[in-house]
Structure 1
Amino acid sequence: MRINSNLLFLLYISLFAGFAVGCQHKAISNKKWYKGNLHTHSFWSDGDDFPEMIMDWYKTQGYHFVALSEHNIIAEGEKWIGMAEDSLYRNAFQRYLTKYGDEWVTHKEDSGRLSVLLTPLEKYRPLFEEKEKFLIIPSEEITDRYEDKHLHLNATNLQELIEPQHGSSVVEVLQNNIDAVLEQRRSTGRPMIVHINHPNFHYSISLADMIALQGERFFEVFNGHPMVHNQGDSTHIGTEEMWDQVNIAYINNGKPLIYGLGTDDSHNYHRQGKQ
């Protein structure tokens, strides 16, 4: 009996496709997903809680990694903060002191003014990190401006502080900061990424600005801060549409795709009032 060659070809393609899908499913099932947040603030910049309390919350909520990304500062060295007299902050301090004790928490009071010494990353890191369970990543939110535009980028896993690089346009400011992170990655050999933060914050970064960038592979398609306009408005596109349009332009220009990140951009950790 003669077998139709077209039928054999279709059978071969079907078997090959089934085998490929099966292998792909097996490969995916062998991988592990990690949940984390790459944009977080504490008392080291403009957050309203101590880094240990923040790390404890994320770890107990099942996160696997967190980057504390303070504005133009790395959590190292000595930094004292004055605690506001508002009950929200005093209650936050009492919870911190109760949890970690006087031997850990360095504080002083002068004429009713309470000051607390912040714990640097390298000191509190061993309290939380566990292999394959929880990782704290040193980071910085490079906070720059051009005229009235707020231009922020996160450098994740950086080794040294990167000062804002400035520039004579939105694109130049962003590109100079991107290049500074990429240069530190190149010179140190350390794994490192840079990503654009909340482009619609004060509608500072336009679609054209994003398309003009070189070497940027990540941006925040979602940011949890209440003032960043993820959805856009009647005259500005949302970040999801921006993501689509940027990648269309990148494909047309032969550039690698840009990936979207979802971040908390967490600053506030307390309820108003007694909590």
Structure 2
Amino acid sequence: MEPIIYIDHLCFSYHNEESGQDIPVLRDVSLSINKGEFLAVLGHNGSGKSTIAKHLNAILTPVSGRVLVEGIDTSDPDRLYDIRQRVGMVFQNPDNQMVANIVEEDVAFAPENLGVPPQEIRQRVDAALAAVNMTAFRRHAPHMLSGGQKQRVAIAGVLAMQPDILVLDEPTAMLDPSGRAEILSTIKKLNQSLGMTVVLITHYMDEAVQADRVVVIDQGEIKMQGTPKQIFPQVQELKKLGLDTPQATELIYRLRQQGIDLDPAVLDADACIDAIMERLHSIKHTGELS
């Protein structure tokens, strides 16, 4: 199956005006993203993960290499509209994406600018608000909403453009735990129920755990990639890259260091409790502590 996004030996540099030098940000990045996949891209600040996100809808274009979205080269200026229709972007601060005084008007803004007929705009707005569970707030003022609700409205505004791919660049960075949970639930729903391809840029391990695949970026290069169960048990490697691990995985790792035989591929609290209880039950019946 041909990937929906294909990144081929992507290199990118920023030009430093003061020094007159180019500062490399991405170094020979190659990555395929499949249709319907939920991909999480992890990395510490300055690793290059947000720069990758901006290449996916041609906010940035490669210095060398190429990025193809559904076979369209993002460097082709004549296809910019086609790229932006296919890839919707959601950023950290939802306030920066709010343009209207009423929620449903804000969601309608992008399709109106695309020249979508009024009747279809109404249908798109209704569907987008329903998809993010914000229909009840359609007549509210955006500035009166919570952070999580604002971000859901921002996502609805992107969905109203009917993209095939949703790219979210640290969308929960400014939210409290409740708001983060709201957004992650929305992302999973869009991916699982609607089959939307999702690329989530994050530094929160508990968000990345729920993805189909995780890519770890460091100093502009892909250092690790695989399923969450393949990546997160590699605790020492992640720490070397300046990253944490899910709390449950960290606990299992420390218990294993003390000689307690537990499955290292434990990613959440429930699985952690189950693994420990199962181990205690085994110890009790085998008499290991006697």
Choose between structure 1 and 2: higher helix proportion: 2
Confirm or deny a common fold (TM above 0.5).
Answer: no
Q: Bigger radius of gyration, 1 or 2? A: 1
TM-score by length of 1: 0.31
